[in-house]
Amino acid sequence: MSRTVKIVILFIAVIAVGWGIGKYTSPSPSASIEEGASAGAGSDLQAPPKSSSEPSVEPSPELSPEPSAVASDAPEAPGTGSEPTAAPSDKPDNSGSQASAEPSPAATAKPTDAGSSGSGDPAAEQTAAEPDSMTVMVNKQYQLPDGYKPADLVYPDVPFIFSEKIEKRMMRKTAAGALERMFAGAKKDGVYLAGVSAYRSEKTQTTLFNNYVARDGEEKARTYSAVPGHSEHQTGLAIDVSGSDGKCAAESCFGGTKEADWLAAHAAEYGFIIRYPEGKQGITGYMYEPWHIRYVGQEIAKEIAAKGITLEEYYDAVPVSK
Ligand SMILES: [Zn+2]
């Protein structure tokens, strides 16, 4: 090996060692490697932390105001998923909207008045504030105004178990139309319904009730007949229905007939509810009447049917006085 070669090798060695010392002395070898490793990854990782911190900031402003605002608005939407309890409290606010005759909970009796009466007596009789509402609640506690008569009574074009065009054949126009569609729907299913008794004036109810009282005594009469002013038949929105043969018309033997079963299964599709369901006497104040249906509009009828509740429960207006 020539001297020149030795010198060159030495020179290279010196440079190499010098480079190595320079590299490994300034920062500690272990530190530099870890930092390098972490720095390399860190540059990639730091972006995500930034981006992940950004979303974590963004969602909070989105979550706080908007969804809560939506949620608090939602109960105002009639019929949707709103809680029955929301219905009565919304009512007074929207008292001006009942003119639309929409089946909105906003337009109904006034369970709120019961709360605001201050009497503390839940059994105190109340007068329905909006008797013309399709969703008015009339029961043993809530009565119609004295002498109330709906202005839009018509004769629904459906068979009744009698042929005369008399008072009890009438219903309010909207309910009459729904009844016609329901009878037609039943017919398609091979079920032939007939009307038994629909609208009933306060005067007629008075005569009827007094006759029942004379026969059975007032206490018993009250279990199956309404005190004048407290009958749903006076709203023009209720009707007693039977099979076209008229058997068991407004009698308990109607229960279990195919007509009764059809009504229970399909009435809500047309906006009617079985107003006095079985096992709910403690709430409605009336024994089971599978023949008595009441128009409230499809939305509410479907909700009441799906939940297996009564109109009183829908409005959170229980208990009802006996
Ligand atoms: Zn009835």
Angle at 119 between CA 118 and CA 120, to 5 degrees: 90
Cα 248 to chain centroid, rounded:
33
Counting residues of the chain whose pLDDT is more than 70, the rounded percentage is 61
Do 167 and 33 fall into the same domain?
no
Is 81's pLDDT higher than 60?
A: no
Q: Of 32-46, 47-61, 89-103, 120-134, which one has max mean pLDDT?
A: 120-134
Q: pLDDT category, 224, cuts 50, 70, 90?
A: confident
Q: What is the mean pLDDT of residues 130-149?
A: 96
The H helix count followed by the E strand count for the chain is: 13, 8
Do 35 and 131 fall into the same domain?
no
Least confident of 24-28, 58-62, 276-280, 311-315: 58-62
Q: Which run of H or of E encompasses 11?
A: helix 3-25
What letter represents residue 67's amino acid?
Answer: P
Do 296 and 180 fall into the same domain?
yes
Q: Per the domain annotation, does 10 fall within a domain?
A: yes
157-178 pLDDT, tens digit each: 999 999 999 999 999 999 999 9
User: Which residue(s) pair with 294 in the sheet?
Assistant: 238, 273
Kindly give the distance from the C-alpha atom of residue 91 to the centroid of ligand 1, in angstroms, as a whole number: 26
**Which pLDDT belongs to residue 104?**
37
Given 11, 42, 57, the domain boundary residue is 57
**Which pLDDT belongs to residue 317?**
82
Do 117 and 266 fall into the same domain?
yes
Kindly give the distance from the C-alpha atom of residue 247 to the centroid of ligand 1, in angstroms, as a whole number: 16
**Which pLDDT belongs to residue 232?**
96
Percentages of the chain per state (helix, strand, coil), in multiples of 5: 50, 10, 35
Kindly give the distance from the C-alpha atom of residue 284 to the centroid of ligand 1, in angstroms, as a whole number: 13
Q: Per the domain annotation, does 233 fall within a domain?
A: yes
Q: Residues 15, 16, 18, 19: is their CA dihedral positive or negative?
A: positive
Do 103 and 52 fall into the same domain?
no
**Which pLDDT belongs to residue 6?**
55
**Which pLDDT belongs to residue 198?**
98
Angle at 247 between CA 241 and CA 251, to 5 degrees: 65
Structural domain count of the chain: 2
Kindly give the distance from the C-alpha atom of residue 94 to the centroid of ligand 1, in angstroms, as a whole number: 30
Distance, CA of 193 to CA of 204 (rounded, Å): 24
Do 133 and 211 fall into the same domain?
yes
Kindly give the distance from the C-alpha atom of residue 290 to the centroid of ligand 1, in angstroms, as a whole number: 9
Kindly give the distance from the C-alpha atom of residue 259 to the centroid of ligand 1, in angstroms, as a whole number: 16
Is 200's pLDDT higher than 70?
A: yes
Q: Per the domain annotation, does 184 fall within a domain?
A: yes
Q: pLDDT category, 233, cuts 50, 70, 90?
A: very high
CATH number at residue 145: 3.30.1380.10
User: Which of 292, 197, 199, 195 lies closest to 244, judged by CA?
Assistant: 195
Do 155 and 274 fall into the same domain?
yes
Q: What is the mean pLDDT of residues 131-136?
A: 97
Q: Per the domain annotation, does 66 fall within a domain?
A: no
Do 256 and 125 fall into the same domain?
yes
Do 37 and 113 fall into the same domain?
no
Q: Per the domain annotation, does 77 fall within a domain?
A: no
Is 311's pLDDT higher than 90?
A: yes
Cα 57 to chain centroid, rounded:
36
**Which pLDDT belongs to residue 264?**
97
Is 24's pLDDT higher than 50?
A: no
Q: Per the domain annotation, does 69 fall within a domain?
A: no
Is 3's pLDDT higher than 90?
A: no
Kindly give the distance from the C-alpha atom of residue 250 to the centroid of ligand 1, in angstroms, as a whole number: 7
- Decide which of 166 and 322 is more confident: 166
Do 106 and 189 fall into the same domain?
yes
Kindly give the distance from the C-alpha atom of residue 295 to the centroid of ligand 1, in angstroms, as a whole number: 12
Distance, CA of 115 to CA of 3 (rounded, Å): 114
Mean pLDDT across the chain: 73
289 is a catalytic site residue: yes
Do 51 and 115 fall into the same domain?
no
Annotated catalytic residue: which of 202, 232, 289, 312?
A: 289
**Which pLDDT belongs to residue 203?**
97
User: Which of 170, 127, 131 lies closest to 152, judged by CA?
Assistant: 170
Kindly give the distance from the C-alpha atom of residue 240 to the centroid of ligand 1, in angstroms, as a whole number: 5
**What three-state secondary structure class fits 235?**
helix
89-108 pLDDT, tens digit each: 333 333 333 333 333 333 34
- Structural domain including 29 reads 3-57
Tokens of 182: 């329901």
Is 61's pLDDT higher than 90?
A: no
User: Which of 155, 84, 136 lies closest to 318, judged by CA?
Assistant: 84
Q: Per the domain annotation, does 190 fall within a domain?
A: yes
Q: What is the mean pLDDT of residues 176-190?
A: 98
Kindly give the distance from the C-alpha atom of residue 291 to the centroid of ligand 1, in angstroms, as a whole number: 7
Do 192 and 263 fall into the same domain?
yes
Is 270's pLDDT higher than 60?
A: yes
Kindly give the distance from the C-alpha atom of residue 171 to the centroid of ligand 1, in angstroms, as a whole number: 13
Q: Per the domain annotation, does 242 fall within a domain?
A: yes
